[in-house]
Homo-oligomer: A and B are copies of this chain.
Amino acid sequence: MGVKLGILGLGTVGTGTVQLLQDLQGRHPLLQEVEICRIGVRSPNKSRPVNLPQEILSGDLSAIVNDPQIDIIVELMGGLEPARTLIMTAIENGKHVVTANKAVISRFGEEIFTAANASGVYVMFEAAVAGGIPVIKTLKQSLSVNKLHSIIGIVNGTTNYILTRMQTEGSELEEVLADAQRLGYAEADPTADIDGLDAGDKIAILASLGFGERINLQDVYCEGIRQITKTDIAYAGKLGFVIKLLAIAKNQTGDKSQLSVRVHPTLVSQTHPLASINGVYNAILVEGEPIGQVMFFGPGAGAGPTGSAVCSDILNLVATIKTNTAQANPLLSCRHKEYCHIAPISQLVTRFYARFLTKDHPGVIGKLGTCFGKYQVSLESVVQTGFQGEMAEIVVVTHDVKEGDFRQSLEEIHTMEAIDSIPSILRVL
């Protein structure tokens, strides 16, 4: 008996998934058990890049998640509603779910996985993070024997593409963004990508898998790349860094209550493995005990890679259905019971880069240094890099400091007569 799929959504990822499932030669033979039963779409009569019998397509998505013959619902619509409600209904109807929907999983994980455990079904979401890179199963089933120290990812292809081009071409964000939109690498409304919210959803998911508890998305600090200028990219380069939008989950003290989960543009040493991840590629670096550092690198989006991730979830569900298990598989079901306490960003201990525009007073570097010292901010370097008009430009890199202390020192520095402005403040990995 075949395993019957109901697919919701036939956009880029849906199309990639159907194409893979229609061409099985050379793939895992277990996929031959899969039958695409129904596909829910907004416009059933639209012409499609895949050949499908007309009767499979339907505009009635609710009927699909309520269809008793369907074993697995594959939700590839994106967006919060109706995706969330359809997923919940499928679970209540005893169907397994595969989804690529990072927004729903990161926001409604508790209700979804609680319901799934109660119904004895699995909700799989390999495609929700980092496209084709099989990081979800790896974190759940392999790396979970480690005590993780950190998960650091480049998980948003759009911003990585923009930052890579700004770096190689010396352009400003607006120019590259406009071009990326023209080329289809950025959406018409780029807010979710540019402001780090998409990466925030993804690191919330990765953190919950890596650190074994639920993450409240509101606790994830998200800072995007809007304020990044070609000037900072150039200075970073001179100091031996590139600027990357990193999504970071880090257990600084080995104490779960000190988990830090955040997204922000970051100065990364040019010799760091993440520094050479360019363009739309994604990468995830995991550090733990006793494994040390492992990194996964690959295409973060697109029909093919994301379709591969979706189908790997389908493959695992088919294997599970075929084995006819008496108990739930604890490596497929969600084991989270509580929420992590996430430290506020003011508690973060990190290095900083900051650029100051100052009136060219004598002694301004001394005044900066004195004020930093007052707040326990220890400096690695202070360089007067040049002039912008009448203003002298000073770039400061700190040693590890507590973010709250650093921010206080900046507040005081803001009030100094010699300081015109602080155009950029960035964290250093």
Contacts and interface: CB of A to CB of B under 8 A. Distances in A.
Contacts of A297: 273, 294-297
Contacts of A312: 141-145
A271 B27 CA distance: 31
Interface string A312-341: 101110011011111111110001000000
B141 A316 contact: yes
Nearest to A308: B291
A89 to B, nearest CB: 26
Interface string A289-315: 111111111110011110111011011
B330 A327 contact: no
Contact of A326 (B295, B304, B315, B326): B326
A27 B144 contact: yes
Interface string A130-142: 0011100110011
Number of copies: 2
A146 interface: yes
A132 B28 CA distance: 25
Contacts of A298: 291-295
Interface size class of A (residues with CB under 8 A): 35 or more
Nearest to A325: B323
A298 B20 CA distance: 30
B326 A292 contact: no
Contacts of A299: 291-294
A231 interface: no
A289 to B, nearest CB: 7
12 contacts: A134-B143, A134-B294, A137-B138, A137-B141, A143-B312, A145-B314, A291-B308, A293-B298, A296-B296, A320-B329, A323-B325, A323-B327
